[in-house]
């Protein structure tokens, strides 16, 4: 969840979310689900003996396809459709499946965001603005389920926070890189909970560093489909190391809309 903290209002671009109307999406999905249920009920009822012409069936099917195609542009931008398709494709890979098991939904009274375990004991890294004002939160692992987590450390200056789950068990976790030494244009993966979706995997490329007006340290720009709810998503190199944490988006004069992530180096420097 991307809160509009005063110190980030020049970074987070709220207008970019207007291209994805999640309420319209879910209304459309629910409408189609109800239609499917109605058709299923009709199929259970006695059918008339007169056969339904095949040409009429195909005509209806074609009309339905065109109707859905007409609705999609109003509900999704093309990049938004691509980000779901890409996630489905990436999620067939064994390494991506393993990464997703360590990524959690961080839930508060105000909404949800993303975090990820970086230790076997369930120690989690997320954004400070995701848990701001909270002492305990709920975290949901894909396989293990829900747990309470205590806010142990906060680093508002770099928008990071550390949580610790209240459970005596082993958790899947990601390995932190020693430093964010990835080169520009290098492909990376990230996993998060954008919009109302959970466990969405995606990929992007590192654009380069940028110094924000209200930050003392440089952060890195990421050319990737980053949306509301990706806050706290780990940025993962092809060899499986976390080099940073996504915290916002930015409309850049040269590169257009980009994601922003905190290099893991800054986390080490403040701990």
Give the span between the Cα atoms of 147 and 49, in whole angstroms.
57
The whole-model pTM stands at 0.73
Give the span between the Cα atoms of 138 and 132, in whole angstroms.
14
- The answer to whether 158 touches 220, Cβ cutoff 8 Å, is no
14 in a structural domain: no
Total of domains in the chain: 1
45 in a structural domain: no
134 in a structural domain: yes
Summarised one tens digit per residue, pLDDT across range 80-93 is: 567 788 898 999 99
**Phi-psi region at 266: left, alpha or beta (left = phi > 0; alpha = psi -120 to 50):** alpha
> What letters, b where the CB count within 10 A reaches 16 and e where it falls short, cover 40-78?
eeeeeeeeeeeeeeeeeeeeeeeeeeeeeeeeeeebbee
Give the span between the Cα atoms of 167 and 203, in whole angstroms.
32
Give the span between the Cα atoms of 125 and 165, in whole angstroms.
11
pLDDT(101) > 80:
yes
Average pLDDT, the chain: 81
23 in a structural domain: no
250 in a structural domain: no
Comparison of pLDDT for 9 and 224, the residue scoring more: 224
Task: Give the pLDDT confidence score for residue 27 in this predicted structure.
Answer: 54
- The answer to whether 187 touches 243, Cβ cutoff 8 Å, is no
106 in a structural domain: yes
252 in a structural domain: no
Domain limits for position 114: 101-165
CATH code, domain with 128: 2.40.10.10
């Amino acid at each position: 969840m991307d809160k509009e903290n005063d110190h980030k209002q020049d970074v987070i671009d709220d207008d970019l979310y207007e291209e994805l109307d999640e309420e319209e999406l879910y209304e459309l999905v629910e409408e189609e689900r109800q239609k499917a249920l109605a058709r299923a009920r009709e199929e259970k009822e006695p059918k008339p003996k007169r056969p339904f012409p095949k040409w009429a069936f195909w005509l209806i099917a074609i009309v339905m396809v065109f109707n859905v195609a007409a609705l999609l542009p109003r509900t999704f931008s093309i990049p938004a459709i691509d980000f779901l398709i890409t996630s489905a494709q990436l999620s067939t890979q064994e390494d991506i499946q393993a990464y997703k098991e360590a990524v959690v939904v961080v839930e508060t009274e105000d909404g949800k965001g993303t975090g990820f375990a970086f230790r076997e004991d369930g120690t989690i890294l997320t954004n400070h603005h995701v848990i701001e004002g909270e002492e305990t939160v709920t975290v949901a692992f894909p396989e293990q389920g829900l747990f309470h987590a205590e806010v142990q450390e906060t680093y508002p200056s770099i928008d990071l926070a550390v949580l610790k789950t209240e459970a005596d068990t082993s958790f899947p976790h990601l390995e932190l890189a020693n430093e964010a030494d990835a080169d520009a244009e290098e492909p990376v993966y990230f996993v998060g909970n954008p919009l109302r979706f959970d466990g969405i995997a995606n990929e992007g490329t590192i654009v380069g560093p940028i110094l924000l007006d209200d930050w003392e340290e440089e952060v890195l720009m990421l050319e990737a489909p980053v949306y509301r709810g990706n806050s706290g998503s780990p940025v993962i190199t092809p060899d499986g190391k976390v080099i940073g944490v996504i915290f916002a988006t930015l409309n850049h004069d040269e590169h257009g809309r980009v994601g922003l992530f905190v290099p893991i180096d800054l986390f080490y420097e403040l701990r």
